[in-house]
Amino acid sequence: MARWFDHTIVETGRLPLFFLLVAFVLTFLFIRFSVRMIRAEVSWWPGNVTPGGVHMHHEFFGVLLMLISGFSFVALANYETPIANCVLASVFGIGCALVLDEFALILHLRDVYWEEEGRSSIDAVFVAIGIGLLFLMGLRPIGFGEFDEYRDAGDNLTRVVVLVALAIVVALAIITMLKGKLWTGLVGLFITPLLFFGALRIARPHSPWARWRYATRPAKMAKARRREQRYREPVVRWKIVVQELVAGRFGVPEPTSPSRAVTEVATAAVSESGAVSPSAPGRIAAAVRWRRTRRELRREPPWRLPTAMVVVAVVAGLVAVALDDSFGTYDLDAGTTATLLGVIAGAMATLTGLVFTAVTLAMQFGASQISVRVIPMLQQDRVMRAAIGLFLSTFAFTVIVAVDLATVADQEAAPVISTTIAIMLTLISTFMFIVLVGKVGSILNSSQLLRWIESEGRAAVYRLYPDDDVAGPVRHAVGDGADDDARPVSLVVTLRDTPTRGRVLLAIDLARIQRLAIRWQVRVDLLVGIGDYVPHNAGVFEIVGDHRDVRVHQLLSCLLFGDTHRPSVSPAAALQAISDIALKALSPAINDPSRAVQALDHCEDLLLLLAPRVRADEQNSALTLIGGYRRTWGDYVGIGTDQIRQYGEGSMQVQRRLRALLQTLSEQCPEDQQEPLRERLTALDVARDREWVTPLDRRLAEAADRQGYGSEAGRIRHRRLRINTQATD
């Protein structure tokens, strides 16, 4: 490997390019890790750079590094500086990574980092890495070699041939790009045969070439769309899966909507036969998403991380003792070291007991004063488990070193390596204890708890409803119609075996159920929903059709069970958890309407996020052979508001905030989602007339106020600010 690197990279003068590419890749991975930590609101990770309240994007620092390194390259161009070239190439690579990571911001002139348009940044980074690798391999883009041949040509005829060949290849590259095949065109600049392949093949349906050439040729356009859906969309979904692994989650897009001609043909087919052929999502991409869902919803036992850390500490202690024995590093005073190790071990044992006591008291206080949701939050928090694991690991490591000092080592001296590691672990444990105290305090803050529940609910919304745009016509399921109830039920699948992780349904692999239904030529109706407790021998599936080919174990493997319906499982669980916190705040023992208003703030945010996605899912679903799995818009509105409305009838502050929530939803939801909102506004009016007798109280109660008691008139109206500019002595 060293010989190949020296021969291929160093001797060919491509060492600065190698440093540039390595710095580019490492910087991109680091900055993506950093922004994902910031997005996850990890408390111990440094946040955004905001001097004076101005958010400085990392693209700003990238431009500065590119300017500095570029100017330095020009200044040193006439000098032989191999080391400086490698250093400046690394700095330039760092700057390029910081700039291209926010390429979408430069392209759209707005912050679309985590939106759909943000994918262009990842594409730009992948293109830069691909081109850098081609240059590093010694390949040159078109023009470099041809110009060398043009310069070295002996006669004019050879030069003309070179120019004609160059013009042909450039024309092929332009045609390939216009056909929407960017990767083929870019790589084809280095590998010319790819340009012939890209220029001769049919264009992509949304490319400029297709708009110019296929507008009057519907057969060509239909062929282009079929090839796009059959070949390219699975590749794009896999590319997005890779992007998510590296850069964070953007979501796997649904297949593109059919063209006008294809839609007309499909509509005609529906009118003639009454049904369309069902389709199944991509098998590989759906399997990857299902595995990721199972991983996200699987609860990690609280003991696993501390146990693993203790095991690592024991192994590290044995290794450190062996290193001390091998190198003879026994230079410290044995008596003093033994005393020090005893103090460290005792302190760690005391600290671990203190943490257990503090966490237990925090659970008791949080469950009684805020919500029982505090308990799983404390159990699943990584800082809690890491702190306990670190304290116990330091204790175990110190005990091993002390035992070695007492039994094996020379009594006149103590080991240096083991003692140094023990002291370092003690210092790290001290800082971890400070972090732990702050973490416990933040969790017991109701605002922090509500924000955590909302973030979990948002993740569930993005997982269950990945797209909020209505794309394409409404698709009808095979067999849907008035005669569905007349069809015999062939099979009811029941849950007999007890799931190992509990009986609460956490997730459903709908994509696989759709494929199984197509294979067996049946329709599958779910009899349970996400969050339901499924008792023994209860029905979970209803099979309509010939069930001879149905494999029950394959259907049951599409269900994921757990022990509780927590906010990360579904939006309904998040809304329910927020509602529980509001009910606890409105109880006579607590009597804190302001906390209930905070809960309604987060309910409103989740409902506004859900509204367009639920509507899109109801109108456009590819799961045509599955029924009974959807929650309606009215379900979510009821879960998020009904309990608070009923329990908070005696609180004018809650009623005013709830009215503002419903009016905001009414303003942003279309007509087909208005009925649940109108019913609840009418219920608020009835409660107002029943609870408040005096005209003043009735007028105050009917005002919509986002802060509860923010203004007597309700919503604050913006007024002009008048400043007295009259000069004074």
Mean pLDDT calculated for residue range 231-257: 62
Mean pLDDT calculated for residue range 441-461: 71
Domain ranges of the chain: 2-213, 304-444, 489-562, 571-620+630-701
Q: How confident is the model at residue 288 (pLDDT cuts 50, 70, 90)?
A: low
Q: Which region among 185-199, 408-422, 503-517, 664-678 has the lowest average model confidence (pLDDT)?
A: 408-422
pLDDT of 304 over the 70 cut? yes
Q: 446-464 vs 593-619: helix axis angle to the nearest 10? A: 0
Question: What is the Rg, in whole angstroms, of the alpha carbon atoms belonging to the chain?
Answer: 33
Q: Which amino acid is at 72?
A: S
Q: How confident is the model at residue 201 (pLDDT cuts 50, 70, 90)?
A: confident
Q: How confident is the model at residue 54 (pLDDT cuts 50, 70, 90)?
A: confident
User: If you average pLDDT over every residue of the chain, what do you get?
Assistant: 75
Per residue in 167-179, pLDDT (tens digit) is: 888 888 888 888 8
Q: How confident is the model at residue 95 (pLDDT cuts 50, 70, 90)?
A: very high
Most distant CA atoms of the chain, gap in Å: 105
Q: How confident is the model at residue 445 (pLDDT cuts 50, 70, 90)?
A: low
| Domain covering 489-562: architecture | Alpha-Beta Complex (3.90)
pLDDT of 474 over the 50 cut? no
CA angle 237–275–463, rounded 5-degree value: 30
Task: Tell me if residue 452 falls in helix, strand or coil.
Answer: helix
Q: Which region among 9-18, 210-219, 640-649 has the lowest average model confidence (pLDDT)?
A: 210-219
Per residue in 512-529, pLDDT (tens digit) is: 888 888 888 888 888 887
pLDDT at position 59 is 85
pLDDT of 260 over the 50 cut? no
Higher-pLDDT residue of 165, 719: 165
pLDDT of 619 over the 70 cut? no
pLDDT at position 94 is 93
pLDDT at position 27 is 92
pLDDT at position 154 is 60
Per residue in 540-592, pLDDT (tens digit) is: 888 888 777 788 878 888 888 876 667 777 888 888 888 888 888 888 878 88
Mean pLDDT calculated for residue range 121-136: 82
Higher-pLDDT residue of 468, 301: 301
Joined tokens for residue 236: 């794009």
Q: How many residues does the chain have?
A: 729
pLDDT of 603 over the 50 cut? yes
Q: What is the Cα–Cα distance from 224 to 521, expressed in whole angstroms?
A: 30
Contacts of 477 (CB under 8 A, 6+ apart): 275, 278, 523, 624, 625, 627
Phi first, then psi: what are they for 676, rounded to 5°? -60, -30
Higher-pLDDT residue of 688, 151: 688
pLDDT at position 168 is 82
Per residue in 670-684, pLDDT (tens digit) is: 888 899 999 999 998
**DSSP bridge pairs for 493:** 541
pLDDT at position 679 is 92
Higher-pLDDT residue of 151, 729: 151
Task: Tell me if residue 414 falls in helix, strand or coil.
Answer: strand
The percentage of residues in the chain with a pLDDT greater than 90, rounded to a whole number, is: 5
Q: Are 94 and 67 in contact (CB under 8 A)?
A: no
